[in-house]
Structure 1
């Protein structure tokens, strides 16, 4: 077991603690063919980046719907059915987060999330109130993988380099953190993350089960 030098563990949220697969929602509600047509015509993920940068949730979605009237009804679902897009919870990851906190390990979030969507999520997912510090892109005005967001986290926590262990499901976000010397884990499955936490000496195998 490695010597414990990690002084803060940072979780991404989307696809680490909560599944974020909007395409799956649309496949279920409007059908795969219609979804493919819409996503080919409209860059909905770029739309969501604007929300994650702190722009108005409803305003951005409705502006996009107005610009693409052929898909207006479906685009507005991004706002009106947002909690159905952000589901389900990845229960094992939540247990790992809580096991770390029970061990006294500081646990934070670093997430690309809009101001209003994060408030909506906090009202629905109780564990989002359990972080020692949530770093939310909408409030910070910058999104991963911009290096500025990692610097802001370091300045706030007073931690740098391998005192931080960070997990995210996107390689670009992990690489940007690694470039600042953070310990990183590219999240694929909760089991892989559990194994990493055990290898770092932060949890026992029983605690990570």
Structure 2
């Protein structure tokens, strides 16, 4: 067990608290698996989408792709139009862990790569996102994980002591980024592993 006292717990959101999969609506829009995989590899790519998480407006993002792929305009616009389908459900067990930590009066915040407008939608779809003390949304601050600056901003804004902070994220790069910022961090794979990781840091549920 870690000898460091954890005073602050920071949750990522996508793939930790809520499911995210762009294939959900596109399985209907582009039924052919090979064509759909090509579309995500060459048109609406991860690198394209992450810029909306950094703060780029959807209108600008769509215009860039439509100029390069005019024959794909409807499929490009569908990404934002059908975004709500991509966040199909909450991870009930993960949410229960977060709710238990809050009920124990532990200091819980969230740090997420999320476009500003879609995060507003997510809050309506998943009211538990309003339970923690606060959240840093990449699209609102113009910074994204794993950039060191976003961890430092979150620490400043919420008065966290980095050495006493535990971060939970499903991305290895984001976990490493948090550690570079002086935080403790664990890689989320499933709720049972999270429970054991919390226990290893002296946090009993």
Q: Would the aligned equivalents of 1:10 and 1:107 in 2 still touch at CA under 8 Å? A: yes
TM-score w.r.t. length of structure 1: 0.89
User: In structure 2, the residue corresponding to 1:145 is in which secondary structure?
Assistant: coil
Q: Would the aligned equivalents of 1:57 and 1:117 in 2 still touch at CA under 8 Å? A: no
Q: Would the aligned equivalents of 1:61 and 1:76 in 2 still touch at CA under 8 Å? A: yes
* Residue segments in structure 1 that go unaligned for 5+ positions in a row: 205-209
Q: More displaced, 88-97 or 2-11? A: 2-11
Residue 179 of structure 1 deviates from its aligned partner by 1.4
CA distance in structure 2 between the aligned counterparts of 1:131 and 1:123, rounded to whole angstroms: 15
TM-score w.r.t. length of structure 2: 0.91
Say how many residue pairs are matched.
Answer: 204
User: In structure 1, the residue corresponding to 2:15 is in which secondary structure?
Assistant: coil
* Cα RMSD after superposing both structures: 1.8
Match of 2:192 in 1: 191
Instruction: Show the 5 A alignment for 1:99-114.
Output: 99-114=100-115
Match of 1:172 in 2: 173
Residue 55 of structure 1 deviates from its aligned partner by 1.9
Match of 1:11 in 2: 11
User: Which portions of structure 1, spanning 4 or more consecutive aligned residues, are displaced by more than 3 angstroms?
Assistant: 1-4
Match of 1:93 in 2: 94
CA distance in structure 2 between the aligned counterparts of 1:143 and 1:51, rounded to whole angstroms: 10
User: In structure 1, the residue corresponding to 2:186 is in which secondary structure?
Assistant: strand
Q: More displaced, 75-84 or 53-62? A: 53-62
Q: Would the aligned equivalents of 2:22 and 2:83 in 1 still touch at CA under 8 Å? A: no
CA distance in structure 1 between the aligned counterparts of 2:171 and 2:28, rounded to whole angstroms: 25
Instruction: Show the 5 A alignment for 1:121-200.
Output: 121-200=122-201
* Residue segments in structure 2 that go unaligned for 5+ positions in a row: none
